Amino acid sequence: MEQISATPFGRRAVDCGLLTAQRLAEAPAPLESIDKWQLFDALRTARAAYGIGDRDLTVLNALLSFLPRRDLSDEGGLIVFPSNATLGARAHGMAESTLRRHIARLVGAGLIARHDSPNGKRYATRAGRGELLHAYGFSLRPLLVQAGAILAAAESTEAEARRLRLMREAVVVMLRDIAKLRTFALAEAQIAPDEALDAEIETLRTALRRKPELTLLVRLNGLARALLERARAALPEPVETAIPDGNDSQNERHHLNQNTYHLDSESRDEAQAQTAGQGEKAPDLPLTIVLKACPDIALYAPAPIRSTADLVRAARHVHPMAGIAADVWAEAEAAMTSPVAAIVMAALLQRIESVRNPGGYLRHLTAQARLGQFTPGPMIMALLAPTNRRAA
């Protein structure tokens, strides 16, 4: 192992970061070797634990690329010696002043160490046959010494990210359940709107948009559970119904299959057959029916949906999230009218997983609307069918 210089060249003073990097460059390595790119990927995952950012990683990536071998080990030299111009070029054209700043951050984080020559330049001394005898530049050995800690930090970061994702998904699912149960209760039981509950639901949605930390997500999870219980308590008592015989069941399935509105963009022929000749004017669909069929749009709405204007605002807020470009959406509003386009957006969002190209499908419906051959009624009725309500 090569002796690393203890002091920097020129006016740079000795500081704690430099001494820490030097100690790491000379400390025993817990691993004999490790793939440099595997370690780099782990460090990228755990970068917050080391106080470094993406631009710091860009410089480190460039430094690693100057090491001829793929593995980091004490069997070969771990010092690279590119000039600032060469290093900057490999770091995507980074300016020299910016390069120095990020190198200082990597040294301060204990990930690389300086090994300055007597004149401050970076170079290597070689034997007659070209064997490397001595090099001055940046030592990558601190990475080898910290490899175990970096891998552990990456694993911990990934585990916390998984917990965050699962906790957030749980809150989103509960909010969806609340919205659907509230819509059902309002439509079926004729209960009075609960403005206080709506305000609490909106508070939860706003908090989720801000990418909360785990501690806050745990609290939001508890609040969502409490709101879900309140929504369940407002449900009407179940009414027992007779089980239809086999013939009635078959007839009902046949009727539903005939009237199912296809949302898959690959099923344009079927969609044309269903939309053709169904009327020149969109049916007057009550907002409660639309929200009952398409409750998911309420989860992404910037405010509670209580009117057609609210639904239009929600659709304008949601369409970019569904991958629908602004010009495609503007054409749909112009051809269909804004309320009808909003209903279509709500239906598309409700079945977004089965629509391969939402933008292309909306263009198709817009073209049908220009010909007077489209109404959103069948889309909403299909979503209200029992089979679709169970899948929603």
Provide the residue ranges of all domains of the chain, joining segments of one domain with +.
16-145, 161-233, 246-391
Q: What is the pLDDT of residues 250-265, one digit of tens each?
A: 444 333 333 333 333 3
Beta strands in the chain (DSSP E): 33-35, 71-73, 79-80, 113-115, 123-126, 132-139
Count, residues in the chain = 392
Write out pLDDT tens, residues 116-142.
776 667 766 666 666 666 778 888 989
Beta bridge pairs of residue 34: 72
- Gap between the Cα atoms of 66 and 124, Å rounded: 13
Task: For the chain, report the end-to-end CA distance as a whole number of angstroms.
Answer: 64
Strand partners, 125: 134
Predicted confidence (pLDDT) at residue 60 exceeds the cutoff of 70: yes
Per-residue model confidence (pLDDT) at position 373:
81
DSSP state of 71: E
How confident is residue 20, by pLDDT bands cut at 50, 70 and 90? low
Confidence (pLDDT) at 118 = 63
pLDDT band at 51 (very low <50, low <70, confident <90, very high): very high
pLDDT at 372 over 90: no
Q: How far apart are CA 16 and CA 350, in angstroms?
A: 57
Distance from C-alpha of 213 to C-alpha of 207, rounded to nearest angstrom = 10
Q: What is the percent of the chain with per-residue pLDDT over 70, rounded to a whole number?
A: 73
Written as six digits, the tokens of 355 are: 């629509």
- Looking at per-residue confidence, does 12 or 323 come out higher? 323
- Give the pLDDT score at 126: 65
| Weakest-pLDDT range from 231-235, 264-268, 326-330 | 264-268
Q: Which CATH class is domain 16-145?
A: mainly alpha
User: What's the pLDDT band for 160 if we cut at 50, 70, 90?
Assistant: confident
Residues 106 and 59: beta-carbon distance below 8 Å: yes
